[in-house]
Amino acid sequence: MIVLKFGGTSVGTAKSIQQVVEIITQTEQPKIVVLSAVSGTTNSLIQISNHIKKGEVDDALLCVHQLHNSYLNLTGELYKTPNYKERARAFVATKFNGIKTLIETKESNNIDNIIVAQGEILSTNLVQLFLEESNVSSSLISALDFMEIDENKEPKINLISKRITPILNQNLSQKIWITQGFICKNELGEISNLQRGGSDYTASLIGAAIGATEIQIWTDIDGMHNNDPRFVENTFSIKEISFDEAAELAYFGAKILHPQSLIPAKENNIPVLLKNTFNPSSKGTIIKNKSVKSGVTAIAAKDGITAIKIKSYRMLMAYGFLKKVFEVFEKYETPIDMITTSEVAVSLTVDNTLHLEKIVKELNPFGKIEINTNLSIVCVAGDFSQNKEGVSAAIFNSLKGISIRMISYGGSNYNVSLLIKTHDKTAALNALNIGLFAKQFELQHY
Ligand code: ADP
Ligand code: ASP
Ligand code: MG
């Protein structure tokens, strides 16, 4: 069995949904199809729940009305027959009426999560109805019946496997199973989710749970590019990349993949293929266990980084000092991304600043604390087990004009991270693109 995940733009219009159906019906191979919400829907649903939080009931209802209208347009275009157009409209109306009732009655203390889950519930039901209209046999299964996270928001992989297997066994002749990405239940049985972009994670978790032979992530670009195409011109698609390199890139900002999404696939050695829904004949990117080449593979950047410098009051870094520092971050469940030390100081970066005030208060007795915000981590990923000198020289030559606040090098063979001002990010990504990839770009294009 294989898993195919389609992102928001892939199910964003009637035409793209038709394209998705073409892709999933091209082979006879049994498959689980994971769908995101129609693009823009999750953002709108979050906006609605933000209005509710602020008590702005009229604004919330207006947003519901606008979103509902966009679905009436979509269903009007997607279905061919009046019967199916009507069934789709009725389904959409039930969902939006449900949201309105929640807003008016405030009946649940989990309104946010219930509302944001409706995007994937809508898309999967509408696509399944379209398959039915197109005489393609498929079964819709609810992710809420098998996808569960524990109190630390970690998916329960064994439970997912235990629950999904009997569901699939109920109909062994079924070739197409449709389910929601992103949404899940928490340990209390309440509706929750796998965080923004989480449908990739759903696909990988299902792949691991059923022992899939391949996980395909279908999106709006020809696979993983060597640099962030939103900020850099002349990027190109990478044919093959290792799990370790791709995981570093996803964690450090390559939006094409949810940060955790490769972990289940890597642990179960299931290849992940990134493909373009709008250009299916393009090969895309294959992510596998083995690194295919040495040197730099790609660059990504993650914004919203805060640096914390602790300058010890003692001249020598005392034994046990770092342990005490880490314990503070552990207490406030705040992960550290980068760390560098000197004789008298240690600098750390975090992207979660929810508990920053409390952290700083507890760090104060250790030394003088300095905070820097609006920073970005630039991650250069590749296989650096050989020719390390060449890579570092090329990176620093490229970044001559840019001030680097921290460097992390040697933590793994797959990543060099640099901390810079977010203001310099676009310049840094472009300079690195020229410095590290100019030759490869020429090879790809001429
Ligand atoms: P989906 O809705 O299909 O999940 P996303 O918007 O989450 O799609 O991810 C695809 C987008 O990721 C691309 O359109 C592109 O702008 C962005 N992106 C950022 N970095 C990269 C990269 N290194 N390679 C490819 N795409 C990237
Ligand atoms: N719909 C969710 C989001 O927009 C999940 C996803 O698209 O992967 O974040
Ligand atoms: Mg995504």
Task: Average pLDDT across each block of 10 residues of the chain; the chain has 446 residues. List them in order.
Answer: 98 98 96 98 97 94 98 98 98 97 87 97 98 98 98 93 96 97 97 97 98 98 97 95 94 94 96 98 94 84 97 72 92 95 91 96 94 97 80 91 92 90 98 89 56
Among residues 278, 279, 270, 237, which one has the least CA distance to residue 256?
A: 237
Question: Which pLDDT value is given to residue 316?
Answer: 57
CA of 277, nearest ligand number? 1
Confirm or reject: Cβ of 245 under 6 Å from ligand 1.
no
> What protein residues have CB closer than 5 angstroms to ion ligand 3?
7, 197
Residue with CA closest to ligand 2 atom 8:
197
Question: Which pLDDT value is given to residue 317?
Answer: 61
Question: Which pLDDT value is given to residue 388?
Answer: 66
Determine the atom of ligand 1 nearest the C-alpha atom of 6.
3
**Apex 292 CA angle, 290 and 293, nearest 5:** 135
Question: Which pLDDT value is given to residue 25?
Answer: 97
Contact in structure between 285 and 223 (CB atoms under 8 Å): yes
As a whole number of angstroms, the distance between CA 103 and CA 316 comes to 58
**pTM higher than 0.85, yes or no?**
yes
Continuous segment of H or E residues that includes residue 31: strand 31-35
Contact in structure between 437 and 398 (CB atoms under 8 Å): no
CA-to-CA separations, 212 to 34, 154, 171, in angstroms, rounded: 13, 21, 17
Question: Which pLDDT value is given to residue 445?
Answer: 55
Query: What Rg value do the Cα atoms of the chain yield, rounded?
Result: 24
Confirm or reject: Cβ of 35 under 6 Å from ligand 1.
no
- Bridge pairing between strands 240-242 and 31-35: unpaired
For the chain, domains (ranges, CATH) are 2-220 (3.40.1160.10), 297-444 (3.30.2130.10)
> Using the 8-state DSSP alphabet, how is residue 319 labeled?
T
User: How far away, in angstroms, is 10 Cα from ligand 3 center?
Assistant: 10
User: How far away, in angstroms, is 204 Cα from ligand 2 center?
Assistant: 14
273-328 confidence digits (pLDDT tens): 999 999 999 999 999 987 667 789 999 999 999 999 999 876 556 678 888 999 99
